[in-house]
Amino acid sequence: MAIPITEARANVEELNFDGPVLIIGGPYSNLEATEAVLTAGAALGIPPERTICTGDTVAYCADPAATVAAIRAAGVRVVMGNVEQALGTNAEECGCDFPADSTAKADARRWYAFAGAEIDADARRWMAALPGAIRFTLGRRRLVAVHGAPSRINRALFASSPAAEVTAEIAASGRDGVITGHCGLPFTRVIDGRLWVSAGAAGMPANDGTPRTWFALLTPDADGIVVEHRALGYDHQRAAAKMRARGLPEGYARALETGLWPNPDTLPAVEKAGGGIALAPEAVAWGNQAALSG
Ligand SMILES: [Fe+2]
């Protein structure tokens, strides 16, 4: 049964940030990776008020309840992902939009059932109350953080996706730029002066053959915003061992160790071909945009 994908609900207030913003992609029930990214944010001096998780706190890995608890305890802002939407509405499926009859879909049934047994009513209420979008201003740029895309909570757009599709999504948002998660790979695109950032995922590696976790940093400067994609090592062996001990799909446990996704067929051809090629941390200067917001 398909879960209902409801209209994303945005926060009402426009947040104004006066310093760097940390973006955490899907924690995916990976407690070790989530704690590593939260610790990195604290070491950078970024307060929880300026930290945004783009949703899917729960997915493939071994610690759904503890990961949700860690995110909630940290006090960071969280956008509703398709998994929070699914658990928050007691849906039968995770809403990840994997192809029917794919291994990813079969695996999702397993990890979603595991997570569903762990996530209690209080956590489900918290998930159901999350905003579908968080609007904020950084420097002079008006941004919005969503899970997949402004038009659909589980729409995956990639670095190789047609520019017109990305442009249309940004235009639909009414903002200067869009910050996302969901697709699981870190990248930044500037198209016609507008920004699209995918933070990647905290809880799964970037299919680049390394076990690193990723986060993004948005730093305002005199010209605009610098977007950085940063990688971290963490105790991925512990995270993988816990997945095996709890009977979760082996493909994702192995992915934590090898850095390679078990289901590359869900990726576009360009990203699939790039699997196993180590990503380098990247900084993109998005500047000279005064006309957009002035
Ligand atoms: Fe998602």
What pLDDT digit, counting tens, does each position of 131-143 carry? 999 999 999 999 9
Please report, for residues 137, 241, 260, the alpha-carbon distance to residue 54 in angstroms, rounded to integers and kept in the order given: 17, 26, 22
Measured in angstroms, how far is the CA atom of residue 80 from the centroid of ligand 1?
9
Within a domain: 172: yes
Measured in angstroms, how far is the CA atom of residue 51 from the centroid of ligand 1?
18
Residue 133 and residue 76: Cα distance in Å, rounded? 14
Residue 133 and residue 169: Cα distance in Å, rounded? 14
The average pLDDT across 152-159 equals 96
Measured in angstroms, how far is the CA atom of residue 72 from the centroid of ligand 1?
19
Measured in angstroms, how far is the CA atom of residue 155 from the centroid of ligand 1?
8
Measured in angstroms, how far is the CA atom of residue 246 from the centroid of ligand 1?
22
Within a domain: 137: yes
Measured in angstroms, how far is the CA atom of residue 111 from the centroid of ligand 1?
14
Is the Cβ–Cβ distance between 128 and 89 less than 8 Å?
A: yes
Q: Which domain holds residue 275?
A: 15-293
CATH of the domain at 85: 3.60.21.10
Measured in angstroms, how far is the CA atom of residue 40 from the centroid of ligand 1?
23
Exposure string for 64-103, b = 16+ CB within 10 A, e = fewer: bbebbebbeebebbbbbbbbbbbbbeebebbbbbbeeeee
What are the tokens at 130?
């999350």
Within a domain: 205: yes
Measured in angstroms, how far is the CA atom of residue 177 from the centroid of ligand 1?
19
Measured in angstroms, how far is the CA atom of residue 291 from the centroid of ligand 1?
33
Q: What pLDDT score does 4 carry? A: 39
Within a domain: 53: yes
Closest CA to 183 of 212, 226, 146, 143: 146
Within a domain: 8: no
Measured in angstroms, how far is the CA atom of residue 104 from the centroid of ligand 1?
13
**pLDDT 10s digits, 57-111:** 999 999 999 999 999 999 999 999 999 999 999 999 999 888 888 888 999 999 9
Residue 196 and residue 193: Cα distance in Å, rounded? 10
**pLDDT 10s digits, 30-64:** 999 999 999 999 999 999 999 999 999 999 999 99
Instruction: Domain count for the chain, please give it.
Output: 1
What are the tokens at 256?
């934590």
Measured in angstroms, how far is the CA atom of residue 93 from the centroid of ligand 1?
12
Within a domain: 193: yes
Which pairing describes strands 282-287 and 224-232: parallel, antiparallel, or unpaired?
antiparallel
Within a domain: 166: yes
* Model-wide pTM > 0.85: yes
Closest CA to 287 of 193, 149, 158, 175: 193
Within a domain: 92: yes
